Amino acid sequence: MHSTEHLGPKVIFSFADGRFYISETVVWAIIVSAVMIILALVSTRRMEKIPKGGQIWAELIVGGIYKLVSGVMGPNKARSYFSYVGTLFIFMIICNMLGLFGFRPVTTDLNTTFALSIITFFMIMYASIKSKGIKGHIKHYVEPYPFMIPIKIIEDFSFPVSLAFRLFGNITGGAIVMALSYQGLGFLSQMLIGKIPILGKIPILAYMLPLPLNFFFDMFEPVLQAFIFTMLTMAFIGVNSAPHEDVAEGSKQDQKQIITQ
Amino acid sequence: MTGITPEALVLAFSALGAGLSIGIAAVGIGFGQGMCGMKGVEGVARQPEAKGDILQVMLVGQAVTETTGIFAFIISVVLLFANPFIKVLL
């Protein structure tokens, strides 16, 4: 987003008198998804016991994310929720980093971040119902006291809202700062060499100077925000699916091991 | 105070409000994130082998601290780019 003229994403094409439209960010989200699917297919086409080529990278990424997820949620839950969390993580990193290539990051659209956080909200509900049953899920609203029902419901619904606004605000703030800095450097170089006939139009000051800003807002912040989104998702899934069962299973396994030993 | 149109007045106070919104919120966030970082440094100094875990928890805590500031930022962006008061006036 290298302009501050309008804040919203550009509309690429519209139909039904402009009431329905497909914007820049939707197109980029589809392209990113397609690239991710193609990379996954290409890198795992010929699976071998001793990996080489793309398979090494795929195994590195998947193994690293699996280690992270199982460290937070425990190995039992990690096996069922790892695929969702890992996909979310990689998709968000690529989406946030589009600013590095001069395009508008997908997550500077509030619709995208709300879509992601609503999926996470339903995932949390699913995890809660799956582990406690529907009765247990409804019962946890009236625990410990029945008059806390409104607070519990507000807590449930404020989580996806704050998640979506956090991602949107951070990435949009970074994009606005980048756009302002590019504009300012262009203006300064116009003042510096604007008198020269043909070369005067080139913003020479924007050549190397914005690199630290690029590094922070297009490389560090995207990874950090994607990491935080997935960490909070994992934490809430872990909290909402009953932790007692895992502990009980673990202790049973320990007992079995002790018996077999 | 002559010659000031109502639109100009609304725009001026919107710009002032946008600046104050993010500015006052940033004070609290700076303090909170500083506290997070301080405790993180203390933890690493006391127990250098737990550096990875402490960094992870510290970053998540700072991100949660940041949320109020992000809300303030969105309010100022709305005031600057999609001002709702001008539409009421016109």
Peptide bond between residue A150 and the one before it cis (omega within 30 degrees of 0): no
Inter-chain residue contact A169 with B59, CB threshold 8 Å: no
What whole-number distance in Å separates Cα of residue A161 and Cα of residue A178? 26
Instruction: Please list the pLDDT of chain A residue by residue as tens digits (261 residues).
Output: 445 556 677 777 777 776 788 888 888 999 999 999 998 888 888 777 777 777 888 889 889 999 988 888 888 888 888 889 999 999 999 998 888 888 888 888 888 899 999 999 999 999 888 888 888 888 888 877 888 888 888 888 888 998 999 999 999 888 888 888 888 888 888 888 877 777 777 777 778 888 888 888 888 889 999 999 998 898 888 888 765 544 444 444 554 555 554
Q: What is the complex's ipTM, to 2 decimals?
A: 0.80
Output the DSSP codes for A247-261.
Answer: HHHHHHHHHHHHHH-
On whether the CB atoms of residues A71 and A62 are closer than 8 A, the answer is: no
Q: Does B68 touch chain A (CB under 8 A)?
A: no
Helical H runs in chain A? 24-43, 54-73, 75-96, 110-139, 149-193, 211-214, 221-240, 243-260
Q: Which residues contact B70 (CB under 8 A, 6 or more apart)?
A: A165, A166, A168, A169, A170, A173
The sign of the torsion formed by the CA atoms of B24, B40, A73, A132 equals: negative
Q: Which two tokens stand for residue B5?
A: 């149109």
Q: What is the CA A229 to chain-centroid distance, rounded?
A: 6
Select the residue from B22, B67, B80 to test the A interface by mutation, using most A Cβ atoms within 10 A: B67
Identify the contact set of chain A against chain B, taking CB-CB distances under 8 A. 6-7, 162, 165-166, 168-170, 172-173, 176, 224-225, 227-228, 231-232
Q: Locate tokens 């875990």: which residue?
A: B53
Neighbour count for residue A188 (Cβ, 10 Å): 14
Closest CA to B72 of A218, A165, A113: A165
Would the CB atoms of A232 and B60 count as touching at under 8 Å? yes
Domain positions in chain B are: 33-80
